[in-house]
Amino acid sequence: MKRPVDIVVISDVHLGTYGCHANELTEYLESIAPRILVLNGDIVDIWQFRKRFFPSSHLNVLKTILALAASGTKVYYVTGNHDDLLRRFSDFHMNNVALVDKLVLNIEDKKAWFFHGDVFDASIQNARWLAKLGGWGYDVLILINRMINWGLKKMGREPYSISAAVKRGVKSAVKYIQDFEDVASDMAIENGYDFVICGHIHQPQMRIITKKKGVCTYLNSGDWVENLSALEHVNGKWTLFRYRSENDVNNVVDMTQILKKSGS
């Protein structure tokens, strides 16, 4: 039986790349019945799209999303930087599917602002070719990491994330994430939003951020390359979902309530 959810947010799936965990995402999507599904950017990786690599498992993700829309789920596709070519078709609506650049929803008398977050990334705005090169390098790194983890699994050892270790160890990367969260929160407070929900940096997060001008809740849905994470809004509460099983759908959900209802 599918689990009912009010709102689900996923981002940075990167369909069409080697790093995408398409099977796991399909399993997750088939286990839920969301009222609203927000695809918060970089779902299809148009930057790295290859005709020779778009396996059936990646196509199944799109089919599952369309099946949800056909069954009554309102689907919002928010464009990101890796699928920015879709921005020329923004504000397109067809039945339960809408293509937008940003989205504002009223959730229990509070305003939630959804957007991918690449507008805050100077490397994308000022050196697009460098950002594309970095995306290609990241995909290669993930592929190498998968081979390493295959060997670790054979030896009975825990998987290891090279990119996560780099992010933890490099001060500039840590500062970039912190700055991204702060800028997004500042913009949300200035515009009167209670929540700001982003993707882009592949870093799942839930934080209540207090500034001189006000307070907002910063949320990031993470990705389906490394973290296999999503945001869910159920019974008035935001929770962070992390996929943790490849075999048992009943064990897929591993949610931790981080924000109390009063803060959500």
Query: How far is Cα 224 from Cα 13, in angstroms, rounded to an integer?
Result: 5
Average pLDDT over residues 150-159: 73
pLDDT band of residue 130 (cuts 50, 70, 90) is very low
* Domain extent listing, the chain: 3-263
Higher pLDDT, 24 or 183: 24
Residue 165 has a pLDDT of: 58
For the ranges 128-142, 171-185, 203-217, 231-245, the lowest mean pLDDT is seen at: 128-142
Q: Are residues 170 and 86 in contact, defined by beta-carbon separation less than 8 angstroms? A: no
Share of the chain above pLDDT 90, in %: 57
Q: Are residues 51 and 23 in contact, defined by beta-carbon separation less than 8 angstroms? A: no
The model carries a pTM of 0.77
Q: Are residues 8 and 40 in contact, defined by beta-carbon separation less than 8 angstroms? A: no
Whether 249 shows a pLDDT value over 70: the answer reads: no
Average pLDDT over residues 157-175: 59
For residue 202, give the nearest of 241, 228, 175 by alpha carbon.
228
Higher pLDDT, 212 or 230: 230
Residue 96 has a pLDDT of: 97
Average pLDDT over residues 119-144: 55
Residue 250 has a pLDDT of: 40
Average pLDDT over residues 120-146: 55
CATH of domain 3-263: 3.60.21.10
Residue 163 has a pLDDT of: 58
Query: How far is Cα 213 from Cα 113, in angstroms, rounded to an integer?
Result: 17
The backbone torsions φ and ψ at residue 35, rounded to the nearest 5 degrees and listed phi first, read: -75, -40
Tokens in use for 22? 């398409």
Cα 215 to Cα 182, 195, 231, 257: the distances in Å are 12, 9, 20, 19
DSSP readout, 171-238?
A: HHHHHHHHHHHHHHHHHHHHTT-SEEEE-SS---EEEEEEETTEEEEEEE---TTTT-EEEEEETTEE
Radius of gyration of the chain (CA): 18
